[in-house]
Amino acid sequence: MPRPREFDTEHALDAAVALVWKQGYAGTSVRQLCEAMEINPGSFYAAFDSKDAFFRRVLARYVEVQLPKLRPQPAAIRRWFRMITASSRRGQGCLLVNAAVESPGLDPDSQAEVSARLGGLEAFFVRCLGEHPHAKAHAELLVATVVSIHVMSRGGSSMAKLRRIADHALELTGVGTTDAAPATVR
C-alpha cells in the first residue's frame, strides 16, 4: 500500500507555477521543482508520474488561479486587456503564452493542452462578442494580440506601448479601449 501524501498538492503546484512561469518548462529541472515544492523526487513522481504530466497540472493550476473569472461580455475583454497591460505585470508575460512559445519542445499531450487552452481563450472572446457577424475573426485577432503583448512584455517593451497595442486591437474589434466605458460592439 502506498504511503499517504505528506505535502499539500495545491501549495506545491503554486510554488511550481511561479518557477515554471519564470524559467519555462525546458529551463526547469525536476530537481529545481522538488526544491521549490519542498518535496523529494520520489514524492514528485508518485504524485505526478512524469515531468510532462506534472506540467499539464501546472498549466491547469495557472489557469485556475491566474486567469480572471469574467462574465462573457465586451467589458470582460476590456478588463482582460487592462489586466495584462497593468504596470504591475511588466516583464511577467503569461505561463500559457510562454508554453505556446515552448510548444515544439513539449510532449504531444502538453502541446494539445496548450492549444486547447488558447482555443478556450478564443472561445471566451467569441462569447464576449455575442452575435457580432465577425465575432470569430475578432476573437482570433484579440487572442493574437494577447499573445503578442505577453511576448513583447517578456522582451522588455514598455507598458505604454503594450497599452497602445491593446487599445488599437480593442478599437479595431469595436470593443472600445482599455479605459473605455461599456460600448456597443460594432
Look up residue 133 and give its DSSP letter. Answer: T
Is 37 in contact with 28 (CB distance < 8 Å)?
no
User: pLDDT tier at 4 (50, 70, 90 boundaries)?
Assistant: low
Q: Which grid coordinates are listed for 110?
A: 502538453
Map out the domains of the chain with their CATH numbers: 9-62 (1.10.10.60), 69-172 (no CATH)
Q: List Cα–Cα distances, 144 to 9, 100, 121, in angstroms.
A: 33, 12, 11
pLDDT digits (tens, 9 = 90+) for 14-67: 999 999 999 999 999 999 999 999 999 999 999 899 999 999 999 999 988 877
Nearest in space to 54 (alpha carbons), one of 36, 76, 81: 36
Does residue 167 have a pLDDT over 90?
Answer: yes
Cell of 182: 461599456
pLDDT (tens digit, 9 = 90+) per residue, 92-150? Answer: 789 999 999 999 999 999 999 999 999 999 999 999 999 889 999 999 999 999 999 99
Measure the CA–CA gap between 185 and 176, rounded to whole angstroms. 8
Residue 166 near residue 85 (C-beta atoms within 8 A): yes
- Report residue 167 as a C-alpha cell: 487599445
SS3 38: coil
pTM above 0.75, yes or no: yes
Work out the number of other CB atoms within 10 angstroms of the CB of residue 51: 17
State the DSSP code for 87: G
